[in-house]
């Protein structure tokens, strides 16, 4: 049983972040650090593995703020720029770790990344382009493996990265798209090869008509950018200590849960703690928002302790 999970919020803001460029509202002008919200992302330490969920435009600052210099995996919830716009910056980790970034996403996300980052997928390789190793996932649980020492990235001047194989051979990192993509091992099928892999359970949801994934790590689940969670997924959300749910405003929205919908969901799922994320400046300042939520939850008898998350918050 995997129990050792710690989650750090790297960003809890909506797609534009908070403050918003040019806005002079009280939230955007607040001096409370908890009202400064980078784009939504979390860092999960899970039985010794370092897992990032989403790499938006603030990825670089988020790595620097927390002093992160190693990731075993980057999981993508969906392909919107506030969640994938920072993927070029994994170059720094390629250099430190001497390995490609291990990126887990759905096939539709991968197809769009190929359009949006053509230079990453171009052959022959441009020296210095980010090194990605992609794993295609779906709603089924999958395993994340720790650093493999089988293949080390070696920088070769004017040529770019090559892999050093266990027998000492140097081979180009990719000769075709197929070289860059793996099917993630499905937990049911994976026998495990002695390495300390951790299981991740994806949660299917919808962001308007766009399918997105949330993820469950042990007794912590992270859901963002959804406005609908199909009935089939509630079984995956039992007995949680913590859940994160997105909400962007009080009013009904076509692609995000409204606050009412998020509270109803928190009540139904009944995790001990519910943390709200992807927050916009339409909610009050952090302290006021905490107070408003306490009153609302008392009044509606919500079966969970609901609070707004903030950048830097750690839960375990
Ligand atoms: Zn988003
Ligand atoms: Zn504002």
DSSP string computed for 189-215:
T----SS--EEEEEEEEEETTEEEEEE
Residue 289 Cα to ligand 2 middle (Å) = 15
Share above pLDDT 90 across residues of the chain, in percent, rounded to a whole number: 72
Residue 231 Cα to ligand 2 middle (Å) = 35
User: For residue 283, which ligand has an atom nearest its CA?
Assistant: 2
User: For residue 26, which ligand has an atom nearest its CA?
Assistant: 2
Please state the φ and ψ torsions of residue 255, each to the nearest 5 degrees.
-130, 0
Residue 187 Cα to ligand 2 middle (Å) = 44
What are the pLDDT digits (tens) for 242-272? 999 999 988 888 899 999 999 999 999 999 9
What are the pLDDT digits (tens) for 61-92? 999 999 999 999 999 999 999 999 999 999 99
Domain boundaries, the chain: 5-315
What are the pLDDT digits (tens) for 103-143? 999 999 999 999 999 999 887 778 889 999 898 999 999 88
Residue with tokens 């403050």: 19
Domain 5-315 has CATH 3.60.15.10: yes
Residue 135 Cα to ligand 2 middle (Å) = 38
pLDDT of residue 173: 75
User: For residue 79, which ligand has an atom nearest its CA?
Assistant: 1
Q: Please state, in angstroms and as integers, the Cα–Cα distance from residue 106 to each residue in 110, 147, 279, following that order.
A: 6, 22, 25
pLDDT at position 185 over 50: no
């Amino acid at each position: 049983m995997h129990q050792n999970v710690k989650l750090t919020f790297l960003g809890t803001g909506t797609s534009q972040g908070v403050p918003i460029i040019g806005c002079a509202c009280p939230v955007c002008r607040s001096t409370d650090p908890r009202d400064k919200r980078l784009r939504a992302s979390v860092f999960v330490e899970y039985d010794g593995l370092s897992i990032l969920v989403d790499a938006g435009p603030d990825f670089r600052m988020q790595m620097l703020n927390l002093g992160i210099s190693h990731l075993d995996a980057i999981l993508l919830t969906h392909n919107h720029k506030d969640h994938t716009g920072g993927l070029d910056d994994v170059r720094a980790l390629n250099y430190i770790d001497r390995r490609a970034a291990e990126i887990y996403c759905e096939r539709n996300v991968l197809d769009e990344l190929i359009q949006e980052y053509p230079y990453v997928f171009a052959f022959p390789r441009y020296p210095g382009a980010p090194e990605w190793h992609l794993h295609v996932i779906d709603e089924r649980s999958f395993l994340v493996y720790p650093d493999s020492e089988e293949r080390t990235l070696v920088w070769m001047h004017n040529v770019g990265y090559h892999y050093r194989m266990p027998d000492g051979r140097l081979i180009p990192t990719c000769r075709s798209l197929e070289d860059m993509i793996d099917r993630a091992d499905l937990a049911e099928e994976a026998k495990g090869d002695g390495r300390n892999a951790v299981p991740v359970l994806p949660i299917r949801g919808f962001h308007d008509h766009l399918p997105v994934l949330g993820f469950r790590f042990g007794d912590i689940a992270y859901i963002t950018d959804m406005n609908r969670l199909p009935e089939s997924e509630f079984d995956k959300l039992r007995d949680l200590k913590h859940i994160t749910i997105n909400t962007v405003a009080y009013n009904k929205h076509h692609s995000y849960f409204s606050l009412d919908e998020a509270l109803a969901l928190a009540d139904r799922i009944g995790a001990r703690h519910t943390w709200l994320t992807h927050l916009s400046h339409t909610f009050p300042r952090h302290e006021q928002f905490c107070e408003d939520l306490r009153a609302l939850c008392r009044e509606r008898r919500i079966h969970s302790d609901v609070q707004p998350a903030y950048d830097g918050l750690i839960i375990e």
